[in-house]
Chains A and B, each alone.
Chain A
Amino acid sequence: MNNLRNSVKQFLGKIMKNIKTFFWNLRRAVNNRKKKISDFLDRKNLNFAGKFPGWAKALIYLAPALIVLSIFTFWPIINSLRLVTFENYNIVNNDITGYTVFGNFIKVLNDESFLFEASHTQGTAIMNTLIIVFISVPISIFLALFISVALNSIKFLKNFFQTVYFLPYVTNTIAIGLVIAYMFKADGGLVNQLFGLGKFPWVESGAEHWRSMFVLIFYSIWGSLAFKIMVFLTSIQGIDKQYYQAAAIDATPRRRIFSKITVPLISPMIFYILVTSVIGAFKIYNQIVALFGVTGKPDGVDYTMQSIVMYIYKYIDGGNNLSVAAAGSLILFAIILVLTLVQMQVSKKRVHY
């Protein structure tokens, strides 16, 4: 048995050696060829690479990324600024009736279920989005912090739990949403059975706005925990153990170790997570579609769950009024910009780099 293993090992070793030798020789040959080419170019005075100024070289290297970014990011931004000035834009024959500055914004703000509630329909896009941002983001950050501190302090089954908490990150959002929707089903859903609630409707006809919101927040918190835990855990593991030893000798209670040492030392990471997840939460879309369908309004309920992005998408879909969609996205942009600036200001005092 041992003999067999040794001979297999030897055989593999030989193969590996041959492969490595092959690559070694390949590199030598390539280097040789390169040198010959550059010598040749130098001789013929054709070496343009050396004659390019620095900025031109930089531009060539940046070109692939710049081209992709211009098509898919910069142009849409400029285009939305262009579209928002059109009045009654017709996408089919590219006709407009005139130009306007605020017209499309006013249209958006006066629209049903954006800022103001429509009759017979509870909930607005702005309100729904804000609720999700201001409830799910803080809760998920706190939860992620506690879970990562707990994960860091256990030894037994540590890797198992890390994997469990990381699973949502690699799972499809829509798939999770469908499972969650099934869990909260009125008839035979896991939650109703577990808590003995009978046929309590959460997201179906007969449900109320707050119940659907609860399910949505639950879902978005759970879905976003994985990444946060991963980031927090790695940064906590990077903290020098001596700080904790010093704190232990000074008889520091656990609560104070957490608030005075762990949190300040990983504050740059917390801030990063805060900013990115606030932005992410403002752009919520998938989760709502998974739970409540593309309209954001389950059958037979008198409220809407649509978010700002869903509202925007409603106008892009079928191209029925791109100017309104552009105005909506600029409003979303403005809200995110203001909030991020506020966060930056607040963080100057609270984040220790």
Chain B
Amino acid sequence: MELRLENLTKIFTNKNGQDTKAVDDLSITIESGTLVGLLGPSGCGKSTTLFMIAGLLKPTSGKIFFGEDDVTKLAPEKRGIGLVFQNYALYPHMTVYKNIMFPLENMDVPRDEAIERVKAMANLVGIGDMLDRKPAQLSGGQQQRVAIARALVKKPRVLLLDEPLSNLDARLRLQMREEIKRIQRETGITTIFVTHDQEEAMSISDKMVVLNYGLEQQYTAPQIMYNEPSNLFVAKFLGNPPINTIDVEIKNNYLMINEQKFMKLNVKDGSYVMGMRPEHFRVAKEEDEKIKIEVSEIFHIGRDTMIHFNVNGQNVRALVDSDSVGDNDKNIYLTLKRNRVYIFEKETGKVIDHE
């Protein structure tokens, strides 16, 4: 089912009467059956957005549509959503079986069918043999699965996950994010999840929304967002190691790097911020547009080699193939593909199309 947010705004007012815009005029459409990640630094309004979709928070203005239904004013229990909390919120006094059964007990479901559904769901998430245990006897990953099963057993229209992996250790996190993707695919349910971990969001989302200070920065598929960031914030937020950003001048349509002409760009002359991802650098061949750099430090990390060098007085990292540089190389020619050079406006941070 399609989910649509229209001009969704949430303003929190504190005791002193100061307003904080947690979510600012957010309008996005989430297609049926997709897994969408809400991504942003802490305090960017992603959990607020999720709780507004769940109905636990009331929006200050704007509307929420599930398909054609306007659910903005509906109470949470009437929206037909499944929500997985950050700490799972499993009832500690009930067994796994009763925890998953709990939502069904409030619905008009025949008993046999309810039992059937609980068992099927437990098997789907892979905890079929742990139904008699209490949550305290389960590991973090298993509790997570129970929470997902409890959210899914009532066949919700939308599944919402609040920081689903933040309480798991690194190895389990990898495993569970594949699990979540699998469960989402098998059930085909429209899913929204909140995270501050860009790698996690990129690895499982069909599409991502990046938020900052409640404002939508970009909404598209992860790989597109990575390669074509719409502004400096998105570019900086995605990627590990992070993108290099340096202040550059463009003179006579040429991008100037260390006083050398690097690349001819279709951009007005002036000061800009340039972004380059470390892994997009290559050691230049004869015919490429290239810059000569002086290596200040060099680290070999297996397959890749990290080179540190100075551009316009600022430190830049480049990740290149280990075979292409020698240990004693002091001066190297590096290049970048034209479409991997990002030029941002200095004031607004907006990306400039330089083709």
What residues of chain A have their CB less than 8 Å away from a CB belonging to chain B? 240, 242-243, 245-253, 256, 260-261, 264-265, 267, 352
B91 and A243 within 8 A (CB): yes
A242 and B85 within 8 A (CB): yes
- Chain A interface: which of B24-32, B73-81, B317-325? B73-81
CB distance from B87 to the nearest CB of A (A): 6
Neighbour of B77 across the interface among A252, A260, A267, CB < 8 A: A252
A243 and B89 within 8 A (CB): yes
A245 and B89 within 8 A (CB): yes
A267 neighbours in B (Cβ, 8 Å): 93
Neighbour of A248 across the interface among B76, B87, B102, B105, CB < 8 A: B76
Given contacts A251-B77, A251-B78, A252-B77, contact A246 B106 (CB under 8 A): no
CA distance A216 to B110 in the complex (A): 49
- Indicate if B188 sits at the interface (CB-CB under 8 A): no
A246 and B92 within 8 A (CB): no
Instruction: Give the interface SS of chain A, mostly helix, strand, loop or mixed.
Output: helix
Residue interface mask B143-175, A partner, CB < 8 A = 1: 000000010001000000000000000000000
Q: A245-B85, A352-B92 are in contact. List 20 more A-B contacts (CB 8 A).
A: A240-B87, A242-B87, A242-B89, A245-B56, A245-B89, A248-B75, A249-B76, A249-B81, A250-B77, A250-B102, A251-B77, A251-B78, A252-B102, A256-B105, A256-B106, A260-B91, A260-B102, A265-B92, A265-B93, A352-B93
- Contact residue range for chain B? 20 to 34
B89 and A253 within 8 A (CB): no
B78 and A246 within 8 A (CB): no
B54 neighbours in A (Cβ, 8 Å): 249
CB distance from A261 to the nearest CB of B (A): 6
CA distance A47 to B326 in the complex (A): 72
CA distance A261 to B77 in the complex (A): 17
CA distance A325 to B268 in the complex (A): 106
- Indicate if B103 sits at the interface (CB-CB under 8 A): yes
A264 and B106 within 8 A (CB): no
A252 and B106 within 8 A (CB): yes
CA distance A253 to B106 in the complex (A): 7
What residues of chain B have their CB less than 8 Å away from a CB belonging to chain A? 54-56, 75-78, 81-83, 85, 87, 89, 91-94, 102-103, 105-107, 150, 154
Given contacts A245-B56, A250-B102, A250-B103, contact A264 B93 (CB under 8 A): yes
B83 and A249 within 8 A (CB): yes
Instruction: Give the interface SS of chain B, mostly helix, strand, loop or mixed.
Output: loop
CB distance from B116 to the nearest CB of A (A): 19
CB distance from B98 to the nearest CB of A (A): 9
CA distance A184 to B313 in the complex (A): 92
CB distance from B104 to the nearest CB of A (A): 9
CB distance from A352 to the nearest CB of B (A): 4
A251 and B93 within 8 A (CB): no
- What are 6 A-B residue pairs whose CB atoms fall within 8 Å in the complex? A243-B91, A245-B76, A246-B150, A249-B54, A249-B82, A352-B93
Interface centre among A242, A249, A352 (most CB of B within 10 A): A249
CB distance from B88 to the nearest CB of A (A): 9
A352 neighbours in B (Cβ, 8 Å): 92-93
B106 neighbours in A (Cβ, 8 Å): 250-253, 256
A246 neighbours in B (Cβ, 8 Å): 83, 85, 89, 91, 150
B154 neighbours in A (Cβ, 8 Å): 250
CB distance from B95 to the nearest CB of A (A): 11
CA distance A253 to B75 in the complex (A): 13
CA distance A251 to B77 in the complex (A): 4
CB distance from B166 to the nearest CB of A (A): 14
Enumerate the 9 nearest inter-chain pairs by beta-carbon distance, A residue then B residue, closest first. Answer: A251-B77, A352-B93, A242-B89, A250-B103, A264-B93, A246-B89, A251-B106, A249-B76, A249-B83
Interface centre among A251, A253, A261, A265 (most CB of B within 10 A): A251
CB distance from B73 to the nearest CB of A (A): 15
Interface centre among A250, A252, A256, A265 (most CB of B within 10 A): A250
CA distance A242 to B141 in the complex (A): 19
A260 neighbours in B (Cβ, 8 Å): 91, 102
Interface centre among B78, B89, B103 (most CB of A within 10 A): B89
CA distance A109 to B172 in the complex (A): 69
CA distance A198 to B80 in the complex (A): 59
CB distance from B68 to the nearest CB of A (A): 22
